[in-house]
Chain A
Amino acid sequence: MECRDLLKKLCSIDAVTGREDAAAQAISGILSDYCNEVRVDAFYNVIGLKKGHGENPRNVLVTAHYDQIGLIVTGIDENGFLRFTNMGGVDPKTLAAQEVAVHGRKEIHGVIGSKPPHLTSPEDADKPVKMEDMLIDIGYDEKQARKLVSVGDVVSFKFPVLELKNNRMAGRSMDNRSSVAALVEMLKELKRIRHRDNVYAVATVQEESGLVGAFMTAWNLKPDLAIAIDVCHGDMPDAPSDESFPLGKGVAVAVGPILSRHHTRACMRLARRERIPYQVDAEEKDTGTEAAVYSSALEGIPTLLLSIPAKYMHTTVEMVSLDDIEAAARLAARYIAFRDELDQEGNSND
């Protein structure tokens, strides 16, 4: 499957953070084409193993979380409207007049209501609406609504994938299906290259609700090297230039206190050698990604963070470039395969 179609397929899957149970099989099916074995653990992390060909293979972990932000029903009111709160970091300002799918007894179409401008007073127009004051309209009265929906049901955003100019794709859940696409593309690439190490390609759960899948994965697989793939901010006119990265200019390689200096440097050297476009992303804190978990998990796991620039993160129109996804995949694959060839200057703690 071409990367473009793969990404579309991945984005069509619903996996609201914490409720990945419904999606694990679909993800597993996609990974299984490129792995020696794939299993789903008790928390629905999807773990693919592509075995190495060398003697004494080490274990390399590459993860991309596959959960997405969404909503959860907190109440059904006397008119059949649904109250809700967020699952993961949802910005209330992005919710007005969105189409949603309520995952109740069956999938139900809904819209998030919004007051018409005619009825909004000028002073209210400037105020943000709080999530607890919003309602989902599913078009049923209370009795019918209660038959179909229960408190605790999750809600996903409905949004098709748009193909735009310059190999750019837009839609909901590009965070982080674009990284899952990179994970799969990496496995494809590894089929073409002989590699010594065992590669655990894991689509993880509950990143958006506290990096949960990463904690489990680090402990259960105890890898020698961890590579987290996630999205970083795409450039915006009013965003700081050192915190956002242009689309189509390559994968962002993170440098910073928690990341292995040795592997980061070697990885950038390899990117130059292989002519894989990359950008440098300096992260002064713990990055807010799964890399934060891996780097201090167990006795510390040397960690790399590769990011795909995504504009408009945590909205329904997240936008990425297929070129960056491919760059991330190639860099991850080639680093896994060729890292021993690179100069071994300094030790891994340098």
Chain B
Amino acid sequence: MFDTISTLVNAFGPSGRENRVAEAITHLIKDKVDEISSDAMGNLIAVKKGFGKKIMLAAHMDEIGLIITTIDEKGFLRFGTVGGVLPLISLGQRVVFENGLTGVVWYEESIESIKDAKPEKMYIDIGAKSREHAEELVEIGDMAVFEGRPVQQNGLVISRALDDRVGCAVLAELARRCPETDHEIYYVFTVQEEVGLRGARTAAYAIRPDLALAIDVTRTADTPKSRHGAVSLGKGPAIKVKDNSVIAHPAIRERLENCARENGIPYQLEVLDKGGTDAGSIHITAGGIPSGGVSIPTRFIHSASEIVNLEDAGNALKLLETFVKL
């Protein structure tokens, strides 16, 4: 599992520029599925044929990032944020462009307080000598992502982009296991989740599944003086009750809980008041698709150093494997 996660977090893939992640996933699973294709938005859809129900399992490929909007006369880059980037967390971060170029995020030192460091008061330094020099290296509209290579330690993974490459990894591993089932399984790796659950919508519309699960990350409440919540790292995957975009269909949630209980898989329940997942756009598509979610507990979401527990990821895989067999 670590190797798969590692492969996927190493791919560049901010919202709208997910093709490298799609390539990496295609490489991992193309021999194990019956069909694999991309749609107009870039969603990667892999199908394992069956004659039972159509089950859509969705994990988003995209990660948060920065988009270059201006190259100034000295060669510094101004940017806008792609998805929920916290400006303060990006300060001092190294960022990487698709072509491998590295930059550093810093702020206009004329601001009175570091709290005023809004994206428009910040810039990326790529060490260019001039506008012309910078323009040879990047162009407006290019995106950059946080650097932060994966580390395995104490059964945990510390890395960039675990939101949601860990979900992609779990799905890819599931596809590789070819779980025996009568159902038709759609492994859907979606785009543009971080900017508004966009890809899942068109994928669900095209597939029209009978039911759907979003495999994503969820915040934990086990860090010093964290906000209240019931989810901790290492206590198993979280079965979604609700987030801010969807209330899991009661029957799906129950089926997931039964799978976990009957197979001795540890699990927790996720009640999230902020943040959404692909299930939010899937469940209202085409007359309604009963939807739920399996979430991997993750610390420090939307930072360059997100943390997940490998056992949680492994148990999420087990849970999904039993779920699709039902």
Contacts and interface: CB of A to CB of B under 8 A. Distances in A.
Q: Do chains A and B make direct contact within the complex (CB under 8 angstroms)?
A: yes
A73 interface: yes
B247 A73 contact: no
Nearest to A131: B273
A303 interface: no
Interface stretch (A54-62, A121-129, A213-221, A256-264): A213-221
A219 B228 CA distance: 38
B60 interface: no
Contacts of B287: 216, 219-220
B271 A72 contact: yes
Contacts of A216: 284, 287-288
Contact of B286 (A19, A151, A219): A219
Interface string A200-221: 0000001001101001100110
A287 interface: no
Contacts of B221: 75
B191 interface: no
A132 interface: yes
Interface string B280-291: 100110111010
Interface residues on B, range: 20 to 34
Q: Interface extent on A, as a size class?
A: 20 to 34
B185 to A, nearest CB: 20
A279 interface: no
A151 B288 contact: no
B230 A43 contact: no
Interface in B238-265: 241-242, 245, 247, 249-250, 253
B50 to A, nearest CB: 21
B127 interface: no
Contacts of B249: 42-43
A8 interface: no
A219 B229 contact: no
Contacts of B115: none
A74 interface: yes
A18 B288 contact: no
A85 B288 contact: no
B242 A72 contact: yes
A13 B230 CA distance: 29
B156 interface: no
A212 B269 contact: no
B271 A73 contact: yes
B284 A75 contact: no
Contacts of B27: none
Contacts of B228: 74-75, 83, 132
B227 A132 contact: yes
Contacts of B229: 74-75
B172 to A, nearest CB: 29
Interface in B69-106: none
B241 A212 contact: no
Nearest to A293: B284
A74 B286 contact: no
A42 B286 CA distance: 13
A85 B273 contact: yes
Q: In the complex, which of the residues B229, B241, B247, B273 has the most CB atoms of chain A within 10 Å of its own CB atom?
A: B247
Interface in A206-256: 206, 209-210, 212, 215-216, 219-220
A43 B290 contact: yes
A206 B290 CA distance: 13
A341 to B, nearest CB: 33
Task: Report the 3 A-B pairs with minimum CB-CB distance, sorted nearest first.
Answer: A18-B247, A152-B241, A216-B288
Interface of B: 221, 227-230, 241-242, 245, 247, 249-250, 253, 268-269, 271, 273, 280, 283-284, 286-288, 290
24 contacts: A19-B250, A41-B288, A42-B249, A42-B290, A72-B242, A72-B271, A73-B271, A74-B229, A75-B228, A75-B229, A75-B230, A85-B271, A85-B273, A87-B242, A132-B227, A132-B228, A152-B253, A152-B271, A210-B245, A215-B284, A216-B287, A219-B286, A219-B287, A220-B288
